[in-house]
Amino acid sequence: MPRELLATTVLLLVLILGLAEWAVAAEPELEVKLTFAPPFSLACSGNVQLFFLPESKLAQKPYLPPEAWLLLEEGALLQGTTWEISLEQGEIVFRAAGREGEAFRSKLPLLLRGAKGSEIKLNGRLYSGTIQFWPGEQLSVFNRLGLEDYVAGVLSSEAYASWPLEALKANAVAIRTYTLYSLGKHEIFDLCDQVHCQVYRGLHHLPVFKEAVAATQGQVLTWNGKLIEAVYHSSSGGRTRNNDEVWASPPLPYLRAVEDFDQAGRNYYWPQAYLVSLDELARALGFSAGQRIELSPFLSPAGDRLGFVFFATKQQEKKRFRNEELRRLFSFPSANFRVLVVKEQALPAGISTRRGVNQGAAVLNNQENRLQLARTVQGVGRLVTGTVTLEPGESLLFFGNGSGHGVGLSQWGAVALAERDYSYQEILRHYYGDEVRFASLGE
């Protein structure tokens, strides 16, 4: 065993396991980069073995076949022990919590693999499959697992266990389809665990998520024989959006705007409005402060506002931002918003302001004010429907509905349809259109 893998006291337990316990599943496997900043905790139960990668393999990509990893002769990590994992001078360090001096370190990549019935937890989150630790300037952590477990993990991260089963099943099919469609977003791993790909926080202990995944196992959505880009979001605010209007991408026949039924969902209304001063707006848009800014809506052929053209009067410079770009720039809940020009001192007492670096927020003091926001503030501001000029002392107040980009499946809309006895197939066809087809992997 390489000398680098041990230091001080090493807690290892010899485990001899049959090859059957490590049988590879027939389903596709994914490589997911996990977001963990050291130090973080590791807890194992059951038969969890520790492997290392020989130095000769270091120049290769992180994802190597199982046979490339060598089992430590001493066996597995002692179960029942919680370890703190850190990175020190380019080495992975495992320290046993509460046991001073009991630690080991490695300059080589390490891999944890659990047999059936075992558990691996990172910062209390349960993960299936294998966990890889790669040292370097930063500690990189990867989870290799089967597609269906991944879908169940994303579902438990994106949905609520209290939702109707048909809504959860609809989400499971969308997640599975989007997962396979999105493979290749990253060069050396398949997906990350953030919203850039899909939120993935490991597996949930409640069985309803696995039930929804098992009931739809292997099912995906296709159009013209190809996987669709099955994007989804929390709540559209009453109507979903066309993909080309949100992202300036070619129109897709299965991502057309449809009526939503999310009015009773918890994300239908924004929980707060956002107040952005003239100078804050200038800085966020990349203009110099201290000048008037003219804003003009630009519209789709159907007359829907797609975004705004901003004109800095002193610089004589124009910039064009879609609603979705503004959502990301100012961290709005959705791109479904209206805009008022207001004088801050004219805001009613029910709304207070909170300043940030690039934006402020008008915080509503109760549910009634939230629901009556438009009525309350329109008396003290000008609703932007055409070209307006933002003068010194004025701010923009953004308020709206929904959560997310608004394209594809609406999760809260799916809940409402399931409560009306729609099947998961009917829910998916409502949001993606009647032309999509259900297919099974391997067909």
Phi first, then psi, for residue 281 (nearest 5°) are -65, -45
Q: Which residue has the higher pLDDT, 140 or 79?
A: 140
Spatial distance between the Cα atoms of 376 and 359, rounded to a whole number of angstroms: 21
pLDDT of residue 283 exceeding 70, the answer is: yes
pLDDT digits 0-9 by tens, 374-415: 455 555 678 999 999 999 989 999 999 999 999 999 999 999
pLDDT in tens, 64-93: 777 888 887 554 566 677 889 999 988 999
Q: What does residue 360 show for φ and ψ, rounded to 5 degrees?
A: -115, 175
Strands 70-77 and 48-52: antiparallel
Nearest alpha-carbon partner for 66 in 111, 21, 115? 111
Question: Average pLDDT of 208-237?
Answer: 97
Residue 361 has pLDDT above 70, yes or no: no
For residues 4 and 1, give the distance between their C-alpha atoms in angstroms, rounded to a whole number.
Answer: 9
- Each residue's pLDDT tens digit, 332-342: 999 999 999 99
pLDDT value of residue 75: 47
Could you tell me which residue, 106 or 360, shows the higher pLDDT? 106
Q: Which of 122-126, 162-166, 241-245, 301-305 has the lowest mean pLDDT?
A: 301-305
| Two structure tokens written together for 341 | 């020009």
Unique residue bearing structure tokens 């991260």: 157
Span 28-37, average pLDDT: 92
Q: Which amino acid is at 202?
A: G
pTM of the model: 0.84
Tell me whether residue 196 is exposed, middle or buried, using C-beta atoms within 10 angstroms of its C-beta: 0 to 12, 13 to 18, 19 or more: exposed
d(CA 322, CA 308): 6
Whether residue 2 is predicted with pLDDT greater than 70 in this model: the reply is: no
Asked whether residue 18 carries a pLDDT value surpassing 50, the answer given is no
Contacts of 240 (CB under 8 A, 6+ apart): 257, 258, 260, 406, 407, 408, 410, 413, 431
DSSP assignment of 405-427, as one string?
Answer: --BSEEHHHHHHHHHTT--HHHH
pLDDT of 358 higher than 50? no
- Better-scored residue on pLDDT, 420 or 187: 420
| Confidence class for position 136, pLDDT limits 50, 70, 90 | confident
Of 221 and 377, more confident: 221
Instruction: Give the C-alpha separation, 77 to 209, whole Å.
Output: 30
Alpha-carbon distance of 320 to 296, in angstroms, equals: 9
Residue 371: band (very low, low, confident or very high) from pLDDT cuts 50, 70, 90 = very low
Output the average pLDDT for the chain. Answer: 84
Taking residues 363-378, report their average pLDDT: 46
**Predicted local distance difference test score (pLDDT) of residue 105:** 86
Q: Is 311 left (phi over 0), alpha (psi -120 to 50) or beta?
A: beta
Contact (Cβ atoms closer than 8 angstroms) between residue 185 and residue 197 = yes
Closest CA to 128 of 147, 110, 109: 147
Predicted local confidence at residue 349, as pLDDT: 52
Taking residues 16-36, what's their average pLDDT? 62
Compute CA distances 275 → 109, 344, 375, 396, 404, whole Å.
48, 9, 16, 6, 20
* pLDDT of res. 443: 67
